Amino acid sequence: MNMTEPARFRPAAILRGIDRRDAPTAKLVSWRAGGPAARVYQPADLADLVAFLRSLPPEEPVMFAGLGSNLLVRDGGLRGSLVLTHGALSGFAPDPRGDAPAGSLQWVAGAGVPCPKVARQTALHGCEGAEFLAGIPGTLGGALAMNAGCYGGQTWERVVRVTLITRDGQLVERLPGEFEVGYRHVTLRGRARLGRDEWFVEAALRLPRGDGERARARIREFLARRIATQPLQQPNAGSVFRNPPGGHAARLIESCGLKGLQIGGARVSERHANFIVNAGGASAADIEAVIEQVHARVLERTGVDLVREVRIVGERAHG
């Protein structure tokens, strides 16, 4: 991505991205299921994204997606435009402002950069602290929207500033204090709504200098742990529910005997009870039905009201 200051961007005269109408989304999400989007646009770069947003009628709904690793579009489809950042906002470079305190380094990464790349690249340059991102199969934009985290690390702990794009194509720089950030939960303070009025296009991340070899070893260890505990050979979207305060969603689901519960092609994983896998030919409705069953049965048997972590959008299919 061109790391020119946001204010210098000018909208391109014609759109240069990949533009598809009534496009299936199943291949765009890690569950490999779901309905179409009225329009899917993958911008060529940030200037093209600005031009795209400015070209839309103001009432057209817009949604951003990264790698779809936390997302399901219902079978009836999504109205409006789905903007794909992966492969578009993909710059990764030292922060040109260079105002990192001694003992740390700062990086600017586009919202479309895959999290594992952030982990690998920062380790390669002798930083520690981003290793947890190695096993999160989404983009930095998705990680910012979700405050993705694991193994003791969370995305927003590393954020110095972010640049967002508004619905009418303006670039806005914001500081972490302007967001309310919690466990898998991020909102903008004030009136603008994250994901409706503004979306992330890049972030500056600060990481302590450390031992790159130690960071790489930790990445290998984290990935090995995932391979041992998660059903990575079947399409899934990671943990479906957030862990309840002081508890563990997977253990609760398992304690209710729900491993293996199957509706259509969607099944609660035998390997990790908080994962729902597409065991073959699952529809979005199958996946949602399993989610609803799990939620209802856990509530009934334990009294715990699990909160969904995965995002479900779009319309249910009729008939």
Ligand X SMILES: Cc1cc2nc3c(=O)[nH]c(=O)nc-3n(C[C@H](O)[C@H](O)[C@H](O)COP(=O)(O)OP(=O)(O)OC[C@H]3O[C@@H](n4cnc5c(N)ncnc54)[C@H](O)[C@@H]3O)c2cc1C
Residues that bind ligand X (CB under 6 A): 30, 63-71, 85, 111, 136-139, 141-143, 145-146, 148-150, 195, 199-200, 230, 232, 236-238, 311
Determine whether 5 is an active site residue: no
Nearer to ligand X, 189 or 301 (CB): 189
Residue 181, Cβ density class (10 Å: 0-12 exposed, 13-18 middle, ≥19 buried): middle
Indicate the pairing of strand 104-110 with strand 198-208: antiparallel
Which element (helix H / strand E) includes 225? helix 212-229
Total length of the chain: 319
Q: Smallest distance, Å, CB 266 to ligand X? A: 14
Nearer to ligand X, 127 or 156 (CB): 156
Q: Smallest distance, Å, CB 148 to ligand X? A: 3
Q: Smallest distance, Å, CB 317 to ligand X? A: 21
Half-sphere exposure of 44 (CA within 13 A, CB side): 11
* Bridge partner residues of 171 (DSSP): 165
Nearer to ligand X, 222 or 285 (CB): 222
Nearer to ligand X, 23 or 67 (CB): 67
- Picking from 70, 79, 75, the residue whose alpha carbon sits closest to that of residue 285 is 75
Determine whether 81 is an active site residue: no
Q: Name the token pair of 206.
A: 């600060």
As a whole number of angstroms, the distance between CA 235 and CA 291 comes to 15
Catalytic residue among 74, 158, 184, 206: 184
| Angle, helices 212-229/115-124, rounded to nearest 10 degrees | 150
Catalytic residue among 30, 81, 90, 239: 239
15, 53 contact by CB (below 8 A): no
* Bridge partner residues of 40 (DSSP): 20, 82
Q: Smallest distance, Å, CB 123 to ligand X? A: 18
Q: Smallest distance, Å, CB 93 to ligand X? A: 18
Nearer to ligand X, 137 or 252 (CB): 137
Nearer to ligand X, 12 or 43 (CB): 43
* Bridge partner residues of 179 (DSSP): 188
As a whole number of angstroms, the distance between CA 58 and CA 35 comes to 24
As a whole number of angstroms, the distance between CA 246 and CA 244 comes to 6
Q: Smallest distance, Å, CB 262 to ligand X? A: 19
Determine whether 239 is an active site residue: yes
Catalytic residues: 184, 239, 309
